[in-house]
């Protein structure tokens, strides 16, 4: 295996680990009812659920981007 292939494989393993960081055995899934309550509470505080989802998605994607950028250097 070449050095490049080793770097790329390591990156894939890190992405796999990143993707499995919050297992449902540790962080139980929320129900639709929970989400509706959370949305009501957030809205009452002036925070949108969409903004939170966007922030979480950016955090996840930035982590993946960082791993891939390191591997592709």
What is the extent of the structural domain holding 19? 3-72
Q: Which contacts qualify for 13-17: CB closer than 8 Å, 24 or more apart?
A: 14/67, 15/64, 15/67, 15/68
Complete DSSP assignment for 29-41 = PPPHHHHHHHHHH
pTM: 0.75
* Distance in angstroms (rounded) separating the CA atoms of residues 56 and 36: 18
Question: What's the pLDDT band for 69 if we cut at 50, 70, 90?
Answer: very high
Q: What are phi and psi of 20, to 5 degrees?
A: -105, 20
Per-residue pLDDT tens for 13-30?
A: 999 999 999 999 999 999
Q: How many domains does the chain have?
A: 1
């Amino acid at each position: 295996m070449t050095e490049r292939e080793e770097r790329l494989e390591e990156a894939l393993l890190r992405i796999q680990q990143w993707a499995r960081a919050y297992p449902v055995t540790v962080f139980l899934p929320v129900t639709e009812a929970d989400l509706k309550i959370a949305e009501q509470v957030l809205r009452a505080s002036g925070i949108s659920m969409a903004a939170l989802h966007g922030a979480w998605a950016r955090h996840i994607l930035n982590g993946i981007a960082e791993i891939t950028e390191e591997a592709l250097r």
